[in-house]
Amino acid sequence: MQKNYFKIGIIVIILACALFPQNAETASAAEKPDFKVIIGEWVRPDGGYIVRVRDVNPDGSVDAEYFNPGKINIAEANVSLWKGLVKLFIKLQDKGYPGSTYTLYYYPEKDAMAGFYYQAAIGQTYEVVFFRKKVE
């Protein structure tokens, strides 16, 4: 069942990109992006992986945690703007995760982050999607 949600999520994100392309030139140069929009807990439905963004600092560094299901050390986490999208980059550095990375883009119309997971140990890149965990 979770695989179906994951496939649907990927399809939704791909369609959103195709139908509503983001362009950095469409945003006013004077506008400052709201990087804090990514603060929260994000779940990857294809395995229950969790990214918890606690804060975004003025210098672009991000206070984040990653769980699979136990806590995995994050060596680097930062946020930037890419073609009008908020981009979150996370580099993991732990046993089984030496240099693996997430490059995620926030899609406000879906309140989701989608992008790529690079599994450095085997040299493979995967398309992934994270959905904001609903507060109950």
CATH of the domain at 48: 2.40.128
Residue 27 lies in a domain: no
Give the pLDDT confidence score for residue 14 in this predicted structure. 56
pLDDT at 13: 58
- Residue 32 counted as domain residue: no
Whether residue 103 lies inside any domain: the answer is yes
* Number of domains within the chain: 1
pLDDT tens for 100-115 read 999 999 999 999 999 9
pLDDT at 18: 46
Q: What is the structure's pLDDT at 11?
A: 57
Is 28 a domain residue? no
Does the residue 66 lie in any domain?
yes
Q: Is residue 30 one of the residues assigned to a domain?
A: no
Assigned domain for 97 exists: yes
**What local confidence, expressed as pLDDT, does residue 87 receive?**
98
* pLDDT of res. 66: 98
Under-50 pLDDT residues of the chain: 1-2, 5, 12, 15-16, 18-20, 23-30
The predicted structure's pLDDT at residue 26: 41
Residue 58 lies in a domain: yes
Q: What is the C-alpha separation between 32 and 135, in angstroms, rounded?
A: 27
Residue numbers of the domain that contains 57: 2-21+38-132
DSSP-assigned states of every residue in the chain: -HHHHHHHHHHHHHHHHHHS---GGGS-TTPPP-GGGG-EEEEETTTTEEEEEEEE-TTSBEEEEEESSSEE-EEEEEEEEETTEEEEEEEE-STT-TT-EEEEEEETTTTEEEEEEEETTTTEEEEEEEEEPPP-
